Amino acid sequence: MKTKLIATLIALMAVSQAALSQNVNWKSLRQDQHNLLQLNVGYDYGFTTQLGYARTITMLRPAMVGLDFSIPMGNDLLDDFKVRLGGQIEVLEFNGFSVTVRIASVFRKYQSSLVSVVGFGSDFAIVTGYYAPTWSIGGEFGFDKAITTRFKHSAQMKAKFPDIKDGWYVPTGGHYYYGVQGGKTLGETLDLNLRIGATSAQFHDQNAMIPYYLQLGLGARF
């Protein structure tokens, strides 16, 4: 059982090695612009700030790989954070209409007075829309899975429940997400981006307290 779970996890993370999380307008990327730096703020299971970097790679279709790092607000900056490593590839394009597939590995950390949590997961999405050289609009549909999570409980938690088990739990959760996104270029190198949407817990699971997301960002192409 454990061997199958490890193998599944490795396969999922292997698939995720070539994807990315930034909003990309393929039409606005010039030939000499291979790098994309983005700063986003918004709501993503917390009021978050995200910094991301991506780079184009040579493939049959336009593609980028990269990573982003996001933290929620709070006094303790690094007790909670999320890192996504992945990429995206434009699989279809016709007269400005485009379909992009986006995949990422996700690493999450959460800490409170009761528990320290680290988790691995994956994020898969399809983005489709219309992309012009100076603006874009589209919709996205994705699935964010928390595959395996380690819970390490504090002394306070163990005093409450001495038999509580620390360890890696598989699986622990997942959300579908769907929304719209748009962008506008500013000059030759900058883009303003907006993503807004809703989340829905997998299967019949209870939804998040605030089942929405919002991301406003500024990107620089160079």
Partner 1 sequence: MKNFTLFVFTMAVVAATFSSCDILDPNEHGQLVPKTVDEDPSLPSISVNGTMLHAETFGNPNNPMIVVLHGGPGGDYRGMLKCSKFSEDGFFVVFYDQRGSGLSKRHSKDTYYSEKIFIDDLDAVIKYYRRPGQKVILMGLSWGAMLATGYVNSYPSEISGVVMMEPGGFIWRDAEAFIARQRSVDVMAENINDLLYLDQIITSSDHILLDYKMGLMGASENSEGNKLGNAGPTPTWRSGAVVNAAAFDIVRRRPFDFTTNLSQYRTKVLFAYGELDVAYGKAHAELVSSAYPNVQLVEIKGCGHEIPYEGFDTIYPIAKAYLDTIK
Would you tell me which residues interact with partner 1 (CB under 8 A)?
1-2, 5-6, 9-10, 13-14, 17, 44-47, 72-76, 79-80, 82, 108, 110, 112-115, 117, 119-120, 144, 146, 148-151, 156, 160-161, 163-165, 167-175, 201-206, 208-210
Nearest distance in Å: CB 217, partner 1: 19
Query: CA-CA distances (angstroms) from residue 166 to 14, 154, 174?
Result: 27, 10, 21
Q: How far apart are CA 181 and CA 196, in angstroms?
A: 6
Nearest distance in Å: CB 190, partner 1: 27
Nearest distance in Å: CB 43, partner 1: 9
- Token duo for residue 176: 């579908």
DSSP code of residue 207: P
Closer to partner 1 at the Cβ: 1 or 60? 1
Could you list the beta-strand ranges (E) of the chain: 35-43, 47-57, 63-72, 81-94, 97-111, 115-131, 135-153, 167-169, 173-186, 190-201, 212-221
Closer to partner 1 at the Cβ: 189 or 207? 207
Closer to partner 1 at the Cβ: 73 or 190? 73
Nearest distance in Å: CB 108, partner 1: 6
* 69: β partners: 51, 83
